[in-house]
Chain A
Amino acid sequence: MGLAMGPVKLDVHQLLSAIVSGDDHTAHVLVWDLRLPRVAAALLVGACLGVAGCLLQSSTRNPLGDPQLFGLGGGAAVVQALAMAGVIGIGAWGLFSLSVVASLIGAGVVLLFASRQGISPARLALIGVSLSALAAATATGILAEARIFSAQPLNFIGGSFANVGWQDVLPALPFLAVGLALAATVMGNLNALSLGDRVAANLGAEPGRTRAASIAAAGILGGVAVAVAGLVGFVGLLVPHLARLLVGHDFRKVLVVSIPLGAAVTLYADQTARLLFMPSEVPAGLVTALLGAPLMIYVARRVL
């Protein structure tokens, strides 16, 4: 659907021929250079956010865990805003690296608070929301100061896949691999962490190390997501809760299922954002917010 639908519709025959041959140059460019990278970006960002949300929710025992709600994406958002404003010009790879580093700094702050005994889930989320709001305000301020008033910053703050190309997707892949590999080293310990740090430690699960690795992996994946599509909110919150409905409470299964589920949710959110008001479109983040915000209110009411 993501490849065929749009202002220029392709039927199945046109789509297949555009994919396998370059005879119809317009259709070929439309599919390979415009629609396919956008679909790939939505799948990749959704997978990143789904896994990051699952890691945060399980390692901090907080059902409100989400890379954006916890403020992980904030630092990356500031980096991206600085790049858009022309303050830093370091190429796509450099920008990805810097976004991930900034997101890891946010992850460090979350780890600092999450490691403190007795901090409530709601308070941790409030700290994260404050950090996120501060970062979003800073990013907006940078863009306003640079007098950038095009659709680009709006799409970035709202979270959008408009105009995403292969140059935005390919540099994300190694970071995705590193984030998933780091998550894989500790995901076997996440179930033990649900019993609390003292019992988990007695089971040999090393809660401090497991939490640090989980939050660092969430930082990498959250930074990647922001670098590709800006601040796509609530996917990280929503997806692990949906995954639990499907596969139960084993965090190993929830984490693995969050990869395709996050990808699918984000892809459909983007297609809705793209096609609902065709030919104009809204940021995908608006669609995910429509789904995620009521869930956040519901979960927050339960944990407060």
Chain B
Amino acid sequence: MILSLEALSFANRGTAILSGVTTVIPDKALTCLVGPNGAGKTTLLRILSGELKATSGEFLIGDADATRLSQREIARQVSIIPQDVQPPPYLSVSALVQLGRFRPYGALWRRLSRQDHVAVNASLARCQVEALSRRRMEELSGGEQQRAWLAFALAQEKKFLLLDETLDGLDVLVKKSSFELLKEVAAEGKGIVLTTHDLDLVTHFADKVIVLGSGKVVYEGPPNAGWEHRVSPAGQAR
């Protein structure tokens, strides 16, 4: 299954944020979305997660026309960790990951099923946060928090995972190990889209790069030698 966009545009109060974006988000791959601030990266993720509707163009999830689907229907396939996400300070890691198994409007006393527990434990183990599961989110370092959020996303068992600058702000070693983890998770079958400003790690780990500049795709493909020249040191797409 892939996410495909064809001539997709989005405007907010008459201002074009995305114009004619045509690209494909494959599964089983780590796709990095790169571009300067204001290039439209977050808006693109919000469209992919169903939070925003494109002004025009096509958005397909597999063969399904996602422009006709509700946010809830899209969310069955796509999970997102937004940039400014803040968990309540009291929440433990295991409580957060268990919320990944949340069912809207479910039975009031719905308890986690055996299958839910298997998914939660597998996600905690996959993201190496098992030992932290009883700790509160506010007690964790930045890198540990990001791994907990990733476990929360994996517990949802959705096909695609969108991460909005989730790793930016972490120190280099933590960021590198997080990229390695994402690469492994993607290889196991997930389609992951990560927006980031760290071009070196993108070159090293990404399966695919999409460079956005002023709301347009200026480069799409593997991180072959020289791809980063599409993004200027000042962050402006060329």
Contacts and interface: CB of A to CB of B under 8 A. Distances in A.
A7 B51 CA distance: 63
A199 interface: yes
Nearest to B81: A199
Interface stretch (A40-48, A88-96, A181-189): A181-189
A61 B107 CA distance: 22
A249 interface: yes
26 contacts: A61-B88, A185-B105, A188-B103, A189-B104, A191-B102, A192-B99, A192-B102, A192-B104, A195-B85, A195-B88, A195-B96, A196-B85, A196-B86, A199-B81, A199-B82, A199-B85, A201-B75, A202-B75, A203-B75, A203-B99, A204-B102, A204-B103, A206-B104, A249-B88, A249-B95, A252-B108
A196 B87 CA distance: 8
B8 to A, nearest CB: 20
A189 B109 CA distance: 12
Interface of B: 49, 51, 71-72, 75-76, 78-82, 85-88, 90-91, 95-96, 99-100, 102-110, 156
Contact of B87 (A187, A195, A198, A201): A195
Contact of A188 (B78, B100, B104): B104
Q: List the 10 closest pairs (A to B, CB-CB), nearest first.
A: A204-B104, A198-B82, A204-B72, A194-B88, A202-B75, A203-B102, A205-B104, A192-B102, A202-B80, A188-B106
Contacts of B86: 196
Given A202-B51, A202-B79, A203-B104, 16 more contacts: A185-B105, A186-B105, A188-B103, A188-B105, A188-B107, A188-B108, A192-B99, A192-B102, A195-B85, A196-B82, A199-B82, A202-B75, A203-B100, A203-B156, A204-B75, A205-B102
Nearest to A192: B102
Contacts of B156: 203
Dominant secondary structure at the A interface: helix
B51 to A, nearest CB: 6
A198 B104 contact: no
B211 to A, nearest CB: 25
Contacts of B88: 61, 194-195, 249
Contacts of B72: 204, 206
A198 B42 CA distance: 13
B151 to A, nearest CB: 14
A201 B71 contact: yes
A201 B75 CA distance: 8
A199 B80 CA distance: 7
A204 B104 CA distance: 6
A8 to B, nearest CB: 44
Given A189-B105, A249-B91, A198 B80 contact: yes
Contacts of A205: 102, 104
A295 B155 CA distance: 37
Contacts of A252: 108-109
Interface in A240-278: 249, 252
B90 to A, nearest CB: 5
Nearest to B89: A302
Nearest to B109: A252
A199 B75 CA distance: 10
Contacts of A194: 87-88, 91
Contacts of B99: 191-192, 195, 203
Contacts of B82: 196, 198-199
Contacts of A195: 85, 87-88, 96, 99
B190 to A, nearest CB: 15
A201 B51 contact: yes
B112 to A, nearest CB: 12
A188 B90 contact: no
A192 B106 CA distance: 12
Contacts of A186: 105
Nearest to B100: A203
Interface in A182-240: 184-189, 191-192, 194-196, 198-199, 201-206
